[in-house]
Amino acid sequence: MIAVQGAWALPSISGTLPELESGQSLKRLGFVNVSKFDRVRGGGGGGGGSSVRLLSLKPIKAMEESTASAVNDSATISCKSIRQSSTFGKSTNVMWHKSSVDKLDREKLLQQKGCVIWITGLSGSGKSTLACALSHSLHSRGRLTYILDGDNCRHGLNCNLSFKAEDRAENIRRIGEVAKLFADAGVICIASLISPYRKDRDACRSLLPEGDFIEVFMDVPLEVCEARDSKGLYKLARAGKIKGFTGIDDPYEPPLNCEIVLQQKGKNSGSPCDLAETVTSYLDAKGYLQA
């Protein structure tokens, strides 16, 4: 059992050996890099087990100093903030805070590399189905994934956005930013949304380090998507009951140079599991399935 009091003020962190001695549990909590502890015997438990405590940690105030840290021998907790404030869009006087636990630490813990798999294509091209098959396949191999589905995100995060071009752009920008956070967390993030405009997808790509944005194009002809029409939306669009439907009276710009193209032209052009396997093999070959 580990007890940690207060997120910024950490008067004591205690636990039992060998949990704490290995540092694993604390690392999992994301607070400290620990190599040495003060040991406290007994403590009224009667079980004779050792317990370990980090003593004399000073409270950290994140905003006050450029580097706030609490040191006890070799145990250090730190939170660095860049002193110079900046402006981002409408956010003025904002500062970046850097934690002592970084992406590499999290990737080591998860034994994988965080990245974004961006699945783009027409409605009905199989984006959501591939996202689910891929997530299932990776999960069964012990890899942590998370799906950001366009349809699903429009139920909450993006419920104030329509399908006009600037709202689609904002939808994609937000999902791109969230996907970036997931990748930074070490997660294999699967974003599945039409994302019809090249420049919006490229903007999301530019948020990530080289190689970490893997664009997957569901290359499925409109006729095939329309024949599937699993939600009946093409029928409504053809009847003029939905305006600005992608592929009917709204544009879709296919990628020019993406990492993976999944073509489904004929009837037997690959089951969702086959398609997921293609993506998994790519991730494996590029080293994303190990730390």
Ligand X SMILES: Nc1ncnc2c1ncn2[C@@H]1O[C@H](COP(=O)(O)OP(=O)(O)O)[C@@H](O)[C@H]1O
Ligand Y SMILES: Nc1ncnc2c1ncn2[C@@H]1O[C@H](COP(=O)(O)OS(=O)(=O)O)[C@@H](OP(=O)(O)O)[C@H]1O
Residues annotated catalytic, as ranges: 195
Query: 74 is written with which tokens?
Result: 């070799």
Asked if 233 touches ligand Y (CB under 6 A), the answer is: yes
CA 205 – CA 215 distance, rounded (Å): 8
Ranges within 245-284 binding ligand X (CB under 6 A):
264, 270-272, 275
* Interface stretch with ligand Y, choices 41-49, 194-202, 205-213, 269-277 (CB under 6 A): 194-202
Asked if 129 touches ligand Y (CB under 6 A), the answer is: no
Asked if 153 touches ligand X (CB under 6 A), the answer is: no
Shortest distance in whole angstroms from residue 263 CB to ligand X: 11
Asked if 126 touches ligand Y (CB under 6 A), the answer is: no
CA 192 – CA 259 distance, rounded (Å): 15
CA 114 – CA 107 distance, rounded (Å): 7
CA 150 – CA 138 distance, rounded (Å): 21
Alpha-carbon distances of 29 from 32, 54, 106, 144, rounded to whole Å: 8, 15, 11, 17
Asked if 244 touches ligand Y (CB under 6 A), the answer is: yes
Dihedrals φ, ψ of 219, to 5°?
-85, 80
Q: Which of 112, 123, 135, 264 binds ligand Y (CB under 6 A)?
A: 123
Q: Which of 127, 143, 168, 180 binds ligand X (CB under 6 A)?
A: 127
CA 124 – CA 231 distance, rounded (Å): 8
List contacts with ligand X (CB under 6 A): 121, 123-129, 228, 230, 264, 270-272, 275
List contacts with ligand Y (CB under 6 A): 123-124, 127-128, 150-151, 154, 163, 168, 171-172, 193-196, 231, 233, 242, 244-246, 250
